[in-house]
Structure 1
């Protein structure tokens, strides 16, 4: 308790419940992890998990250092990050829609898939201003700014979000690995999955582009 008081952390039990609810709520991260692990196996899915949570570390540090506050006060900064993220999602979705992979051709090798999944997972997370604003809005509610080291309290809460999210998203990657084995047996399902996933990523990109700062 003394450490919590020093860091200014309050109502940590309620914060844990909020983190669990957040992790279990389906969103872009959930879809992306299931897609990558379903298409390329659980190892690549875990790379996506690591990439997404690396993005969350960036948002945690940005919230602790006050950088995320710029997105809340600057319409220009918010718009730039929003359109970069939307463009990246649209570009990724279009690439999947236009892919001409043969039904019997494997996807990419594990090494290439691991690196690509990590990079894409991190970029889709970092370039989403709504995620940045979420960390900025949620974490300070459970930290007293009058504490001795409130910035460290924000970091501890951010790492808590990441820890819970990492546990759940890793389970999703393992679940997606089961889908991967099914796709190996029925390659044409993989082609349809590419089209469906490309369409959904494209729609996420358009939705992000149309979102307003709140």
Structure 2
């Protein structure tokens, strides 16, 4: 695996990360509702979860899950249920209102754990790596699992950078929304809606 291959993979990874999907929408939702630090904590959790998926793809575990309809369904519906639960919690708090000082009381460790759990419970991520990583592996060089792990680290690093940028951008939007008391009381509602959409998308997606 040479430098050109890694660079090509990086280009593809950036394009795929920028496409609207569960992870960047989750970061967007957390950043708008709770600020950029919350978004960054969530992003770090999501990217930590990628380690599990990359390792699963490198060791062939993803292929086993993909071949087992029951295993795939269990992971998929568990992930969807978790996101819908988070959406429900947001809707319950939709009238509480938010201020710029709310960020001081946030539990960033909890947000980090949410990011990890949300990512691990999305089997589509494992299948994504299972399909993508082998295309950039040089079979002649051997050590295929190690090559896949290296590519996974590259993907994770660029994802962290992009998610952090999304977090900063989203807080700008948040600050504009907070200038309107009526809208600020609906930020949790916005977050709940986004989480609900992500959860339903995972629940009704297939395994192909």
Gaps of 5+ in 1: none
In the other structure, the counterpart of 1:169 is 163
In the other structure, the counterpart of 2:122 is 128
In the other structure, the counterpart of 1:115 is 109
What is the alpha-carbon distance in structure 1 between the residues aligned to residue 35 and residue 191 of structure 2?
A: 16
> Per-residue displacement from partner, 1:185-212 (whole Å, max 9, x unpaired)?
3343232222132123212212211222
Give the paired residue count: 208
In the other structure, the counterpart of 1:81 is 75
Equivalent residues in 2 for 1:41-52 (5 A)?
41-52=35-46
Gaps of 5+ in 2: none
Contact 2:30/2:42, CA 8 A, preserved across alignment: yes
Cα gap change, 1:107 to 1:82, in 2 (>3 Å): farther
1:57 maps to which of 38, 51, 56: 51
Contact 2:78/2:121, CA 8 A, preserved across alignment: yes
Contact 1:44/1:110, CA 8 A, preserved across alignment: no
**185-194 vs 32-41, which moves further:** 185-194
What is the alpha-carbon distance in structure 1 between the residues aligned to residue 115 and residue 147 of structure 2?
A: 26
1:186 maps to which of 175, 180, 183: 180
Which stretches of structure 1, 4 residues or more, deviate above 2 A after TM superposition? 9-14, 100-113, 144-148, 179-188
1:206 maps to which of 195, 200, 203: 200
Instruction: Give the aligned CA root-mean-square deviation in angstroms.
Output: 2.3
> Scaled by the length of structure 1, what TM-score is found?
0.87
Cα gap change, 1:113 to 1:189, in 2 (>3 Å): farther
> Scaled by the length of structure 2, what TM-score is found?
0.89
How far residue 120 of structure 1 moved from its aligned partner, in angstroms, is 1.6
